[in-house]
């Protein structure tokens, strides 16, 4: 719609025209996209204006009632027009967005867990960890930290598990050495490194390693060598090059299990000498 100061009615007196102009432009919300930039419809214009539009000479009128009547009808028409439809969805979406943001903020504030709730969550995590195999306190602490359990909650809960005997680093170290020495044939030094990475107290480690003697280590190492030699077929033990190749492989195998170089070379040489002395197929 054109600005109101551009809307003049033919036949309106200069005083009335000045009064209309002083009203200023209509507010933006009152402008409807379907409004035509023309003056009022013919049935809303006084007879004097209709005659002027029909080509008759303009007839001036100084009757202020006619001017007020025309202006009142036009303003009423504008006010009754709905606001632009393009604005309505935007306002509704903004209200919906604001509502969602408010709901998220409220829910975030109310969803802050209490220490009691965190303790229950931590207890469930620890019980699941202990179901498959025993764990050290350090292992469980790391797992709880990964699950965002506060340190004070984790410490208090693990203290309670220790009181009940469900977490026992001394017993864990003892069982670990016994199992790994028997199944993996690991040396005492390899077992010690593993227990250190699991956060076991040094005193508990030394106590657990007392289960493994030097004779036990030699026997475990020799068992590894003999098992590997049984898979070496077609070896000419009189060929020095082939003997050296087998020696390197066996020494590397023992080194990966934590056995020192001196013990490894000694035991490998002993086993190869026995293989050379044995009758060949």
Q: pLDDT, tens digit, for every residue of 156-199? A: 999 999 999 999 999 999 999 999 999 999 999 999 999 999 99
260 in a domain, yes or no?
Answer: yes
Q: Rounded to 5 degrees, what are φ and ψ at 12?
A: -85, 140
Q: Which of 23, 53, 80 is at the close of a domain?
A: 80
251 in a domain, yes or no?
Answer: yes
* Same domain, residue pair 54 and 121: no
* Same domain, residue pair 14 and 66: yes
242 in a domain, yes or no?
Answer: yes
The reported pLDDT for the residue numbered 8 is 43
9 in a domain, yes or no?
Answer: yes
152 in a domain, yes or no?
Answer: yes
Give the mean pLDDT of 234-256: 93
Q: Which of 25, 56, 80 is at the close of a domain?
A: 80
The reported pLDDT for the residue numbered 267 is 96
Q: Which of 33, 60, 80 is at the close of a domain?
A: 80
220-224 long-range Cβ contacts below 8 angstroms, 24+ apart: 220/181, 220/185, 220/186, 220/187, 221/185, 221/187, 221/254, 221/257, 221/259, 221/263, 221/264, 221/267, 222/267, 222/270, 222/271, 223/185, 224/185, 224/253, 224/254, 224/257
> Domain with 151 in it: what CATH number?
1.10.10
Cα–Cα distance, 124 to 162 (Å, whole number): 16
The reported pLDDT for the residue numbered 185 is 94
Q: Which domain holds residue 12?
A: 4-80
Model confidence pLDDT, tens digit, residues 79-123: 666 655 554 455 555 555 555 555 545 455 557 889 899 999 999
Give 109 or 245, the one with higher predicted confidence: 245
195 in a domain, yes or no?
Answer: no
70 in a domain, yes or no?
Answer: yes
Indicate the DSSP class of residue 40: S
Residue 50 has pLDDT above 60, yes or no: no
Hey, CA dihedral for 101, 107, 112, 118, is it positive or negative?
Answer: negative
Report the domain count for the chain.
3
| Residue 122 and residue 149 in contact, taking contact as beta carbons nearer than 8 Å | yes
């Amino acid at each position: 719609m054109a600005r109101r100061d551009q809307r003049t009615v033919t036949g309106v007196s200069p005083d009335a025209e000045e009064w209309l102009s002083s009203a200023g432009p209509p507010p933006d919300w009152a402008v409807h996209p379907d409004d035509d930039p023309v003056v009022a419809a013919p049935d809303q214009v006084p007879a004097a204006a209709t005659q002027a539009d029909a080509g008759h000479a303009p007839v001036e009128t100084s009757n202020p009632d006619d001017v007020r009547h025309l202006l009142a009808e036009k303003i009423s028409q504008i006010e009754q027009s709905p606001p632009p439809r393009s604005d309505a969805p935007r306002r509704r979406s903004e209200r919906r967005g604001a509502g969602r943001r408010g709901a998220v903020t409220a829910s975030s504030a109310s969803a802050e867990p209490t220490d009691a709730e965190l303790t229950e969550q931590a207890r469930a995590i620890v019980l699941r960890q202990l179901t498959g195999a025993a764990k050290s306190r350090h292992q469980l602490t790391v797992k709880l930290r990964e699950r965002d359990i506060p340190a004070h909650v984790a410490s208090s809960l693990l203290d309670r598990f220790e009181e009940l005997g469900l977490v026992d680093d001394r017993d864990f170290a003892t069982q670990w050495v016994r199992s790994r020495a028997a199944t993996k044939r690991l040396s005492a030094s390899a077992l010690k490194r593993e227990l250190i990475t699991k956060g076991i107290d040094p005193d508990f480690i030394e106590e657990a390693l007392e289960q493994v003697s030097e004779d036990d280590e030699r026997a475990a190492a020799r068992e590894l060598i003999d098992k590997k030699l049984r898979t070496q077929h077609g070896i000419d033990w009189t060929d020095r090059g082939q003997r050296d190749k087998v020696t390197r492989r066996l020494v590397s195998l023992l080194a990966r299990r934590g056995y020192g170089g001196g013990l490894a070379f000694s035991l490998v040489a002993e086993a190869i000498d026995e293989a050379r002395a044995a009758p060949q197929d």
